Structure 1
């Protein structure tokens, strides 16, 4: 009977050494949760950095569009009514060196190319302008709508009255080629 009491007494005591495994498990849970939080923070930081780069590129393209339309308005108004494919045909309107600076402005911090300019007759007259930022690993293209107004006189070239960002083109193709101007 004494023996049965001893066995019974051992059963009622809590087991020895359960605190260390419990503490190790709790610390592993804390380490894993902190690593998970750190990974989420790094992923969010990476996403925000990519978004900031994209906004910066959009801003560079808008600045380039403003530069190009400003130069067209001030120095090359005779080109506003012509598609970009016809710009080199009339040397009296724009010398070759000035035309090259218009197609690839060198005064910008990153290289930008004019890919497409197409005036569209109608009311109100407008033009489509497409620029490419070539300094990125995947070149970024953006489309702009240039609002035009008729010249002051009947025979005067149109003038720029507005510029609207149409957004990045991404993987989209360039707009359709302009119809050739009537001679």
Structure 2
């Protein structure tokens, strides 16, 4: 799939829960004067219910199918800043689309965060269905599985530990401007 620059996002953010994807996407959109899209919000809009309710009512597999469709649609249609759900990277088709996007000149930023920094940001609350039970152990298990995938599809890596969302967004703005996008 060839993505023309006028029909692809300017920057895509990926990373685990607590990395700051949604907040940083909003700040990037403001700084770059671009629209912002979040695939988790797209999934909730299509399903007509929250992600937690999708997991409870329809199961994780159904959520993942909706998520993969949301990512493919956003990569095809959105021209601004795109924030992906933390687990979107698990879908092989999504991985392929993101790699094609980077090959065609797109920027995928892996927003990296440690468990210690993620914990206070997300509080490991019940609104995150994959972190039920022992949230810290579940988060670590997710990252052990997902880290190689985030690293594989991203062509930029920004650590968010001990940094404000504004500082992280500023680094990404500089990266995007330096790349001429």
- If the TM-score is normalised by the length of the shorter chain, which range does it land in? under 0.3
Task: Please say which structure displays the higher CA radius of gyration.
Answer: 1
TM-score (normalised: structure 2): 0.25
Q: TM-score, normalised by structure 1?
A: 0.25
* Structure with higher RCO (Cα < 8 A, 6+ apart): 2
Kindly indicate which of the two structures has a greater share of residues assigned to helix: 2
More strand by share: 1
